[in-house]
Structure formats: structure tokens, C-alpha cells
Amino acid sequence: MTQFPEVMMALDLGPLDSHVGYLLRRAQLAVFADILPSLAEHDVSPADYAVLTVIDRNPGAGQSQVAETLGIQKTNFVPLIRRMEARGLVLRTPSARDRRSVALTLTPQGNALLADLHAAAQAHIERVRSHLGSAEYDSLLEPLQRLASVSRPS
């Protein structure tokens, strides 16, 4: 016979426990919770990390291009990138061939910080990978890429 548990009994989620949207949301929060402290040590948000990564891989790209790639509105991108410039992580240089746009590049400090962030991210990914098991982890990436590619801005 089952006895009443001392801790609170979890409630029934019903159809939510196999709802892809609900599961994606909770899984994303759990995964972010794992890497958040490592990023916070460097005073960096997940969005900051993504921006630094994209600038590193696309030096000279314009603000709106970087913002749109990451699904960040250009209007919300301004304070984010300005803060990084103020921290000496990013260089904003007026483009010569299109004087409306600002070309983004990493400073040496930005590059050094990004190296630390990549290391932290790799350790984080290994934790997630070993939590799931390599096979299950690997099988996860492709479908997520297919879903993620839908949300690309027009």
C-alpha cells in the first residue's frame, strides 16, 4: 500500500507533460539555469554571449544585421551594444561604404572574455550532455535546429 508522502505530492500536469511547447519552455529554463551563474561571474547575459559570438564570427557586420540574426529587435539592441562598447569589449566604427551603418568588431578584451565564455559554455554543455547521455543529447540537436530555424525574422 502506498503511504502519504511527507513532501508535497506533485500535481498532475495532464496533457502538458507531453506538450512540446511546455516542455521546451521548462527545458530552456532548466538549461539556462545551469549556465547562468558562469556567465554572471563575467557580468554577461545569454544574449550578451550570443552577440559576442556572432560579432567574433562576422567581424565588421552591422548592428541591425547582428541583431536580426539573433532575433533581437534593433531598437533593443542599442543599449545592449552600447554597454559592451562602454565596457571596452566591442568597437563600433562607422562604415565607410554606407555611412548609416556601424561596423562591429571585438576588442582584444572582448576576444579574451569570449574565450573564457566559450570555455564556460563548453563545460556547461558537457554537464547537459552527461545528464542526458551522449546519444540522447546528440539526437536532440537536429530537431531543435529545425524548430529554431522557423523563428528567423523576415
Partner DNA sequence: TATTGTTATACTCTATAACTATA
Partner DNA sequence: TATAGTTATAGAGTATAACAATA
Binding site for DNA (CB under 7 A): 8, 45-47, 62-65, 72-78, 81-82, 92, 95, 97-102
**SS3 of 59, please?**
coil
Least separation in angstroms between residue 149's CB and a copy of itself is: 8
Alpha helix locations (H) across the chain? 20-41, 46-57, 63-69, 74-86, 108-132, 134-148
Nearest CA to 154 out of 71, 62, 78, 58 is that of: 71
Binding site for a copy of itself (CB under 8 A): 1, 3-8, 10-33, 35, 46, 50, 53-54, 56-58, 61, 65-66, 68-69, 71, 118, 121, 124-125, 128, 131-132, 136-137, 139-154
Least separation in angstroms between residue 153's CB and a copy of itself is: 7
Cβ proximity to a copy of itself: between 93 and 139 the closer is 139
The amino acid that residue 70 corresponds to is L
Distance, C-alpha 123 to centroid of its chain: 15
